[in-house]
Amino acid sequence: MNEQTVELHQRALEEDELYERYAASLEKDHTGEYVVVSKSGEVLVSKDDLELLQTAIQKFGRGNFVFRRIGYKALGQWR
């Protein structure tokens, strides 16, 4: 693996850990909605993905949060 691939793999693992730690419990009541988890563990939930993403960028800055659809496996990464 090259260095970039290792970095991307590490980031994906960190994002999975943040989701599992702070957002997985939301799956029972919020499946299908969207969640943002900041690196410090702050959680934002919304049914509107674009509004949530804009709020997260303003509040946490690009690259400082995980963005997922609750209850769905992540298929890619935001860059």
The verdict on residue 34 lying in a domain is yes
7-64: pLDDT as tens digits: 989 988 999 999 999 999 999 999 999 999 999 999 999 999 999 999 999 999 998 9
Is residue 74 in a domain?
Answer: no
Domain contains 57: yes
Number of domains in the chain: 1
pTM for this predicted structure: 0.85
> Residue 75 domain-assigned?
no
Sheet holding 43-46, edge to edge: 43-46, 34-38, 65-69
Query: Could you tell me the residue range of the domain that residue 50 belongs to?
Result: 3-69
> Is residue 52 a part of any domain in this protein?
yes
Say which amino acid occupies 27.
E
Answer whether residue 76 is part of any domain. Answer: no
Structure tokens at 4: 């970039």
Tell me: pLDDT of 77 over 60.
no
